[in-house]
Amino acid sequence: MSGEISDPEFHIGATASEQMNIMAMISSKIVQKDLTDFYKFWKFPLTQKTISTISDYELEKITGFALLPSELIKNQPESNYDMHF
C-alpha cells in the first residue's frame, strides 16, 4: 500500500467510470478506510476489480456516511466547523 507503480490506480483510465474507480482506490488509501460502501451509496459504478483491490488493502470499513451532515455534527462545538477561509 506504499504507492508502487504497479498499483492499479497508477493506470489512469480515459472514461469517467474508470476515473471514478481510480478515485475510490486512491481515496481509500489516503484516508486509510475502505470507502467501497460510501461510493456505492453515491452510485459510483465500481467494478468488481476495484472492490477486490480495495478489499485487499485490508482497511476498516467507513460507517455513518449515510447520515445527514447535521446528524454527524450533533453535540459537537461549532468551533470545530468554522468555515472561514
Sequence-ordered list of residues with C-beta below 8 angstroms from that of 65, at least 6 positions apart, any chain: 37, 38, 41
* 41 confidence band (pLDDT: 50, 70, 90): confident
Quote the pLDDT of residue 75: 78
Q: What average pLDDT does the chain have?
A: 81
What is the CA angle 18-24-27, rounded to 5?
A: 135
pTM: 0.66
Judge contact between 39 and 20, C-beta under 8 A: yes
